[in-house]
Amino acid sequence: MKYVLYMISITLITMFLMYLGIIKERRLPIELANKLYKKCAGKVIKYLEKHDSITIPEIRNLVQNETVSVIWSNKKLGITDANSFVRNLIDNLIKEEKIERVNGKTNSFRLKK
């Protein structure tokens, strides 16, 4: 009887750990994308704290070779199409009211005060 309880408990623990792994694996792409966005947004904000403004080509060069990963997975996410990523990054930073366009320049941005 004692061994039957051990086997049932080991089976339940194994099922729980497998289920937890499946959930984490499903959420991995979203988590990696959010982490990449936050990392690149942080780099742009840090750059703007030291400089007055930044242009789209400067942002593209700043975030061009960025990759992110999580501790529990070997998978990594990097930027493949820098132009579209930078456009989305700028749009999100403007929506979050962290940056604003410089007056008179369409491709130049600065920190919002």
CB count within 10 Å of CB 98 equals 15
Angle at 14 between CA 9 and CA 18, to 5 degrees: 150
Q: Is the pLDDT of residue 38 over 90?
A: yes
Name the architecture of domain 28-111. Orthogonal Bundle (1.10)
What digits encode the pLDDT tens for the residues 71-101?
Answer: 888 899 999 999 999 999 999 999 998 998 8
Four-point Cα dihedral 28, 88, 92, 27, nearest 10: -10
Distance, CA of 86 to CA of 82 (rounded, Å): 6
Q: What is the pLDDT of residue 7?
A: 93
Q: What is the pLDDT of residue 72?
A: 84
- Per domain, the residue ranges of the chain are 28-111
